[in-house]
Every structure is written in C-alpha cells, then in structure tokens.
Amino acid sequence: MVERRPLLLFIQHAVLIFGAAVFVFPIYLAFIASTHTAREVNSGLPLLPGGQMFDNYATVLGEGLSTAGAPPIGLMLMNSTIMALAITLGKLVISLLSSFAIVYFKFPFRVLAFWTIFITLMLPVEVRILPTYEVVAQLGMLNSYAGLSVPLIASATATFLFRQFFMTVPDELTEAARIDGAGPMKFFRDILVPLSRTNIAALFVILFIYGWNQYLWPLLVTTDESYYTIVMGIQRMVNAGEETPQWHLIMTTAILALVPPVVVILGMQRLFVRGLVEVEK
C-alpha cells in the first residue's frame, strides 16, 4: 500500500467480499439444495444447509441414480475424466508441434497449413455438429472414447496461443541452440517446451474445463450407457418431462461434477494465471 486510509481499505474489502459472495452464491445454492429433501427444495429453496447431506451424497455415490434414470455416477465421472484429459492432452500435443513448425520453419505450403488450421476458429461448433457426426459415424467411431474426444481436438485455440507465445521467445535462444549444434527437436524438447510451462498449464486448465463441460457432442455420439458423461447424466435427470425432477439429487450430482474442474483450477492456479497473462501479451 502506498498510503494508509482505513476507510478506503474497509470499502475495498467490503466490495470484494460482497462481490465474492454474489459470485459464489449460485454455487452455494446448489450445495444447499444438495443437503435437503426433495420436498424442501421444491417448496422454495431454504438458505441454510439441511440435514440430508449425508443421505443425498450416499444415495448418489452408493446406489447410483438408478431411480433418477442415470448410470452409476462413478462410471460417468470416469468417462468425463477420460474425455476431458484426452481432449486436453491431444490438443496440447498437436498444437505444440504444429505451432513449432509454423513459427520455427520456413517450408512450402506453410501459409496454407497455417490457414487450414486457423480457419477452424471461424465456424461455431453447433453449426457443423451434424456433418461432423456423419464423418464420425462413417469412421465407426460412435460409442468410443476416440469418438468422444478426437473430433473436439480439431480447434486452433491452443495452436494460436502457442504461436503467440513462441513469437515472443528471444531469437538469441535459437541462435545459441544452433551454435551448440542442437537439432530442432532437441531445441523443442529442452528449451521451448520448458519455457512454455506456464502456458501449457493455463491451456491445460482451460481445455480441461472445455472438455469436461461438453454436452451436445457426447449426447450425439454415444448410445451405450457405459460411455455417458456426468454432464449428460445431470441433463438426463433434469429432463424429467412432466414428472418432478429430483432437484436435491441433481444438485448433489452437480456439486460432485464440479469437484474435478475446481480441483484442477485451484491446484494449478498460480501457473494458470501466469500462463494466461503471458500468452495474451
């Protein structure tokens, strides 16, 4: 602090606490709903936790949600994890490689390669989802982890961000590597990738959340319940038609579904924030 102004300091904390409270409130509400019975939730949600927490979580984790019409939650969590990780790692690997090629090599068709990749930023996913489905079906990838993840790897976000970062890496490093007689792959492995550590962390978080939160795509490409993801499971419970959805169990599941992305964010917070800013600069 430059100077001490107790009133100002108080206002600052008040604004921040209020802001944080407002922003976390919807999530708090979901948690509250997961601690009550169905009837309590339906007759106007209370603001304080109820006594059903252990019952609800035990129901969801133990018996699964068979009465709410969804496959076992452990399986869905695992599928979501596999899908999110496959998308994240897949994107990171292909993007690191291709942006390395585009930034550090001059080769025929380089510009064409650049545009082929970058044009993927230009069409909303929802629009091409039906023809993409047809391709996946023709390749026999329905009901597989590959079908769930590989088509979503086709996006240039990560490539674009790595390219931006590589452009800021000092040329002296490349010079030095070349003088030492290091080949391109050695340079890539020993210098560029370690330098990109924070960027990789930032993208890991962003992509993991992107993959975890997918809904429409998994719904289309899976018919086998053993490939259902947790977000699909939640939607299925919500979509109870003319029955009453079991909100208390839905919210319990929603809270559980929130745990992995939050763990990823919080665990990688420091790197994530640094990476974000470096990438965009």
Partner 1 sequence: MTLTRSATAVAALMALGASPVAAETEIQFWHAMGGALGEKIEEIAAGFNETQDEFTVVPTYKGNYTENMTASIAAFRAGEQPHIVQVFEVGTATMMAAEGAIKPVQQVMDNADITWDADAYLPAVKSYYTTTDGALLSLPFNSSTPVLWYNRDLLDEAGIKDVPQTWNEMFAAADKLQASGHECAFSFGWQSWVMLENYLAWHDQPIGTKQNGFAGLDTELVFDESEDLTTLLQRIADSQEAGTFRYGGRRGDSLPLFTSGECAMWMNSSAYYAGISDQAEFEFGQAMLPVNTDAAETAQNSIIGGATLWVLEGHPESEYQGVAEFFNYLSSPEVQADWHQFSGYVPITTAAYELSNSQGFYEENPGTDTAIQQLSLNAPTENSRGLRFGNFVQIRDIINEELEDLWAGNKTAAEALSDAAERGNALLREFEGSNS
Partner 2 sequence: MARLVALEVHVLTKKVTFSHRWLPYLLVAPQIAITLVFFIWPASQALYQSVLRQDAFGLKTEYVGLANFAKLFNDPLYLQSFYTTITFSALVAGVSMAVALVLAVMADRVVRQATTYRTLLIWPYAVAPAVAGVLWWFLFNPTIGIAAYALDALGYDWNHYVDGGDAMTLIVVAASWRQVSYNFLFFLAGLQAIPKSLTEAAAIDGAGPLKRFVTIQLPLLSPTVFFLLVVNVVYAFFETFGVVHATTDGGPGQATTILVYKVWRDAFQGLNLGSSAAQSVVLMAIVIALTAIQFRFIERKVEY
Quick check: 216 and 126 in contact, CB under 8 A? yes
220 binds, options partner 1, partner 2, none, Cβ within 5 to 8 A by partner type = partner 1
Minimum distance of partner 2 from residue 229's CB (angstroms)? 10
Sequence-distant (6+) residues with CB within 8 A of 273 are 202
Is residue 237 a contact point for partner 1 (CB under 8 A)? yes
Considering just the CA atoms, what is the radius of gyration of the chain in Å?
Answer: 23
Nearer to partner 1, 66 or 109 (CB): 66
Place of tokens 């800013």: 277
Sequence-distant (6+) residues with CB within 8 A of 76 are 70, 228, 229, 230, 232, 233
Is residue 1 a contact point for partner 1 (CB under 8 A)? no
Is residue 235 a contact point for partner 1 (CB under 8 A)? yes
Q: What six digits make up the tokens of 252?
A: 């319990």
Residue ranges in 49-68 that form contacts with partner 1 under rule CB under 8 A: 66-68
From the list 10-18, 129-137, 185-193, 266-274, the region that binds partner 1 by CB under 8 A is 129-137
85 binds, options partner 2, partner 1, none, Cβ within 5 to 8 A by partner type = none
101 binds, options partner 1, partner 2, none, Cβ within 5 to 8 A by partner type = partner 2
Is residue 37 a contact point for partner 1 (CB under 8 A)? no
Q: What six digits make up the tokens of 93?
A: 């690997």
Is residue 213 a contact point for partner 1 (CB under 8 A)? no
- Distance between CA atoms of residues 250 and 61, nearest Å: 12
Minimum distance of partner 1 from residue 250's CB (angstroms)? 10
Quick check: 52 and 35 in contact, CB under 8 A? yes
Minimum distance of partner 1 from residue 45's CB (angstroms)? 11
Instruction: Determine the residue type at 81.
Output: T
Residue ranges in 67-96 that form contacts with partner 1 under rule CB under 8 A: 67-69
Is residue 134 a contact point for partner 1 (CB under 8 A)? yes
Nearer to partner 2, 94 or 195 (CB): 94
- Distance between CA atoms of residues 127 and 216, nearest Å: 12
Q: What six digits make up the tokens of 265?
A: 């964010």
Minimum distance of partner 2 from residue 255's CB (angstroms)? 10
Sequence-distant (6+) residues with CB within 8 A of 202 are 271, 272, 273, 274, 275, 276, 278, 279
Q: What is the DSSP secondary structure assignment for residue 183, as one 8-state letter?
A: -
3-state secondary structure 160-186: HHHHHHHHHCCHHHHHHHHHCCCCHHH
Minimum distance of partner 1 from residue 141's CB (angstroms)? 11
Minimum distance of partner 1 from residue 99's CB (angstroms)? 33
Nearer to partner 1, 43 or 167 (CB): 43
Minimum distance of partner 1 from residue 40's CB (angstroms)? 11
271 binds, options partner 1, partner 2, none, Cβ within 5 to 8 A by partner type = none
What are the distances in angstroms from CA 5 to CA 14, 16, 182?
A: 14, 17, 57
Binding site for partner 1 (CB under 8 A): 38-39, 42-44, 66-69, 130, 133-134, 137-138, 142, 216, 219-220, 223-225, 235-246
